[in-house]
Chains A and B, each alone.
Chain A
C-alpha cells in the first residue's frame, strides 16, 4: 500500500518526468522544424487579403548610377490552396505601353504564363521554367516577384539578428524547384509581424548574387503588411533596382475572370 507521502513523492516524480519530457520535446525542435514553423506562420499571417491593385515605379540603376524608370500596374488575386494569380500592365517605357503579363502561380508545378503584345493583338504563351530571367531588364527575376508559398522552399533556422531595427529570425531557404536561379536564400523575418526584412540570394555557383531589402512597411485592413520600397542590389554587377509602390488598394472586387487570357486582351 502506498501511503500519502509515497503518493506525493510518486506524483512529484511523475510530473517531473513529464516536465522533463515536455521540455525535452521543446528542445527537440530541430533547426529545420523551427524554420518550417516560422515560414508557415509567415504565410498564415498574410492569409485572407483577397485581391489587390497597385501602381509601381521601377528605378533601374547601372554601376555608374545612371537611372532608367519603368512604370507598371499590378493586380493580384489570392488563390486558396494554390499560388496566387497576377496581372502586370506596362505603362513605361512607352514603346512597350499596353504590354501585359499574366501569371498563374502554382505550388508544385511550373507557373502558367502569358504575354499580350498589343501591336499584334497576340497572346503568347511562355514556357515558364524561364523564371530566373530578369524582369524588364531589372535586377528582379520573375521568381523574386512571385507569391510566397511555403512549399517552394525547404527551411533551416540559423539564428536571431537585428535588421532594420527589428528583431529577426534568420532562415536559410532552399528552393525546391530545380529550375530556380538560386541555390539558397537567406531570409530575415521580423519576430513582431512575420514580415521579410531582407533577403540574400545565392547563385548557382553558391556565390552571393543579390541582396533585397524591404522598407516602408504599411498596414492594410489591420492585418496585412506591405513594403512600399523594395531595393535589390546585385553585388556581382554593381547594378540595382528599386521597386516603389505609392499605395496598394485591397479588395477592389477583382475575381478569377479578371485573370484569364481574355482579360489580358483588353487589359488597360
Chain B
C-alpha cells in the first residue's frame, strides 16, 4: 500500500507538473465538476456465524469527478477520488483514487497516463477477460466495482482495428471484508499479510495488449495479459509453529492470460462469448468461458416497457476445483426497462449451479430517479448452497436486502 501511494503520488506529481504550465498559459481551460454523495443501508436475513458480525450495516459514500480540458481539445485531466465510510466493517471504510489521468489525443493514437479504469468484455453475469483493474470486493461482492490502476495506456487507431498497449506499474491488492463485515464466509482474509510470487510484490510491472475491431454485425477482440494475477489464491494461514491461525492469506501468483471476446448482433438478438486461457508456474493451466444471449422484446403489452431476457452459461475447465463460483452454471435474468421519465429499471435473475444442484442464487436490482437528481436503488440477494466444497457456500447465510440513495450534482 505504501509503495502504491508512492507510485500514485509520483504519477500525479508528474501529470500535474507537465500540465500545469499549459493550464496557467491558457485561461480558457474548460473545467467541469460532477459526482454524487450517497447513503446505503443493508439488512441481512440470517444471523452470522461470528458474533463480531452484525445483521445490519450502514454507510455513506462520495465520488466527485474533477475534469479539465485544454482549449486545443487534445488534452484533458480527470481526477476522481472515492470514499466510503461503513458503520460495521473497517475494511469497507476505504478511500481510493478511481482516476487521476492525463489523456492526450492525436489523430490516430491516444495516450492515457496516470490512474485509470479499463473495461474489457461483453457478458453480464461474469467478467472473465476483464483483468486490468483489481476488483473492489468490499464495494460489491459480485465483482462489478473496480479499484483505480496506475497505467500508461497507448491506443492506436488503425484500419485493422484498435490496439491498446498497457504498462501497469503498481499492483493493487484485492479488497476483502474485515472481521466485522458480512459476505466474507466463515474465515477472515488477512489482507495485511498478502504473499506474492514475484519478489517485487506490489511493485511488479505488468503488461497487457488488447486488439478489437468491428466487422459489420460482429465485434471481435483478442487480449493478452502478463503479470500479477488480480485473483489471489486463498491459502490457510499458519503461525511460526505451523499451526492454523483461522485466517486466510491471499497469494498473488504471476500469470499469463490470453482472452477472446466475440459479440454478434442478429435481429433483436445479441450473442456474446468470452473465453480465457490462464497459466502460470504456481497455478493450474486452465480454460474458462462464458457465453449466452440477450433478446429484447420492445414495447411489451402495448406499453413503452421493454423486456430483455439474458441467458448465460459459465464454464471452467477445473470443474468443482475452480476458484470461481461459475464453473458450470446457468444464469437467466429479465431486465424490465419502463422508459419513463424516472428511468425505472428492474433486473431480476437466477443462477443455478449444474454441479451442485442445491447451489443457486437469486437477485433483484431495481432503480428509479426521484426528482431531478436523486437515484434510489434497491438490491436483494438470496443464496442457497448445501455443499461446503462449493465456492457459493461462502454466502449461504448472507441473504440481504440493500437500499441506496445517491444524490448527483
Where the two chains meet, the residues of A that have a C-beta atom closer than 8 Å to any C-beta of B are: 60, 62, 68-69, 92-98, 120-122, 125, 127-130, 132-134, 136-137, 181, 257, 260-262, 266, 268
Q: Decide: A62 and B341 in contact? CB cutoff 8 A.
A: yes
Report if A95-B157 is in contact (Cβ < 8 Å); known contacts: A127-B268, A268-B69, A268-B76: no
In the bound complex, CA of A84 to CA of B322 (Å):
48
In the bound complex, CA of A234 to CA of B319 (Å):
55
14 A-B residue pairs with CB within 8 Å: A68-B372, A69-B372, A93-B373, A94-B36, A94-B409, A95-B374, A125-B219, A130-B268, A133-B298, A133-B306, A136-B343, A260-B157, A266-B76, A268-B67
Q: Which of A127, A132, A268 contacts B299 (CB 8 A)?
A: A132
Q: Decide: B107 and A137 in contact? CB cutoff 8 A.
A: no
Q: Decide: A120 and B119 in contact? CB cutoff 8 A.
A: yes
Q: Which of A95, A122, A127, A266 contacts B269 (CB 8 A)?
A: A127
Q: Which of A68, A69, A94 contacts B34 (CB 8 A)?
A: A94
Q: Which of B76, B155, B372 contacts A262 (CB 8 A)?
A: B155
| Total A-B pairs, Cβ < 8 A | 87
In the bound complex, CA of A69 to CA of B214 (Å):
36
Q: Decide: B36 and A95 in contact? CB cutoff 8 A.
A: yes
**Shortest beta-carbon distance from A188 to chain B in Å:** 26
* Interfacial chain B residues near A137, Cβ < 8 Å: 339-343
* B141 interface residue (CB < 8 Å to A): no
Chain B residue with Cβ nearest A117: B119
CB 8 Å contact bits of B212-240 with A (1 = contact, 0 = none):
00100001000000000000000000000
CB within 8 Å of A: which B279-330 residues: 294, 296, 298-299, 304, 306
Report if A133-B157 is in contact (Cβ < 8 Å); known contacts: A125-B270, A127-B268: no
Chain A residue with Cβ nearest B132: A121
Q: Decide: B263 and A127 in contact? CB cutoff 8 A.
A: no
Q: Which of B107, B119, B340 contacts A122 (CB 8 A)?
A: B119
Q: Which of A94, A95, A127 contacts B265 (CB 8 A)?
A: A127
* Interfacial chain B residues near A268, Cβ < 8 Å: 32, 67, 69, 76
In the bound complex, CA of A97 to CA of B341 (Å):
15
* Interfacial chain A residues near B339, Cβ < 8 Å: 133-134, 137
* B360 interface residue (CB < 8 Å to A): no
* B56 interface residue (CB < 8 Å to A): no
Listed from nearest, the 8 A-B pairs whose CB atoms lie closest are: A94-B408, A137-B341, A94-B373, A95-B408, A121-B119, A95-B375, A134-B339, A122-B119
**Shortest beta-carbon distance from A178 to chain B in Å:** 12
Q: Decide: A133 and B304 in contact? CB cutoff 8 A.
A: yes
* B103 interface residue (CB < 8 Å to A): yes
* B57 interface residue (CB < 8 Å to A): no
Q: Decide: A60 and B157 in contact? CB cutoff 8 A.
A: no
Chain A residue with Cβ nearest B270: A127
